Amino acid sequence: MKQLHEIQLQILKKLLFANGLKFSELKPDNEMENNQFTFHLDQMIAMGHIAKTEHKYFLTQKGKEFANRMDTNKTAIPLQAKISVIIIPMKGKPKNRVFLIYTRLKQPFYGCQGFMSGKVNFGEKVIDAAKREFKEETNLDGRAQIVALKHYRVFDKKTKELLEDKFMFYCKVENPRGDLVPADEGKYGWVNRKDLKKYVTNHFESFDVLLEDIKLAESFDGHVKFIEIDHFSIKF
Domain count across the chain:
2
Question: pTM of the entire structure?
Answer: 0.76
Whether residue 104 is found in the same domain as residue 136: yes
Residues 6 or more apart whose CB falls under 8 angstroms from that of 146 comprise 126, 127, 130, 169, 170, 171, 224
Whether residue 122 is found in the same domain as residue 181: yes
Whether residue 86 is found in the same domain as residue 116: yes
Whether residue 181 is found in the same domain as residue 206: yes
Whether residue 104 is found in the same domain as residue 30: no
What is the 8-class DSSP label of residue 19?
S
> pLDDT value at position 71?
74
Tell me the HSE value of 219 on the side-chain side, using a 13 A CA sphere.
8
Whether residue 208 is found in the same domain as residue 185: yes
The pLDDT tens digits for 112-150 are: 999 999 999 999 999 999 999 999 999 999 999 999 999
| Mean pLDDT of the 97-117 span | 93
The pLDDT tens digits for 16-58 are: 888 899 998 998 888 888 899 999 999 999 999 999 988 899 9
* Residue 116 identity (one-letter amino acid): M
| Mean pLDDT of the 170-190 span | 92
| Mean pLDDT of the 181-190 span | 88
Tell me the pLDDT band of 207, cut-offs 50, 70 and 90: very high
- Between CA 25 and CA 82 the distance in angstroms is 36
Q: Which domain holds residue 21?
A: 6-67
Q: Note whether residue 87 is domain-resident.
A: yes
What is the 8-class DSSP label of residue 129?
H
> pLDDT value at position 2?
58
Whether residue 197 is found in the same domain as residue 95: yes
Whether residue 13 is found in the same domain as residue 123: no
Choose among 156, 142, 146, 135: nearest CA to 233.
Answer: 156
Backbone torsions φ then ψ of 223, nearest 5 degrees = -105, 115
H or E segment and range at residue 217: helix 207-218
Task: Find out whether the peptide bond into 108 is cis, omega within 30 degrees of 0.
Answer: yes
Q: Note whether residue 33 is domain-resident.
A: yes
Residues 6 or more apart whose CB falls under 8 angstroms from that of 200 comprise 101, 113, 114, 191, 207, 210
Instruction: Give the residue with greater pLDDT, 3 vs 98.
Output: 98
> pLDDT value at position 205?
84
> pLDDT value at position 109?
85
The pLDDT tens digits for 147-177 are: 999 999 989 889 999 988 999 999 999 999 9
Tell me the HSE value of 142 on the side-chain side, using a 13 A CA sphere.
27
Q: Answer yes or no: are the C-beta atoms of 90 and 173 closer than 8 Å.
A: yes
> pLDDT value at position 124?
97
- Between CA 193 and CA 211 the distance in angstroms is 10
Whether residue 229 is found in the same domain as residue 143: yes
CATH for 186: 3.90.79.10
H or E segment and range at residue 101: strand 98-104
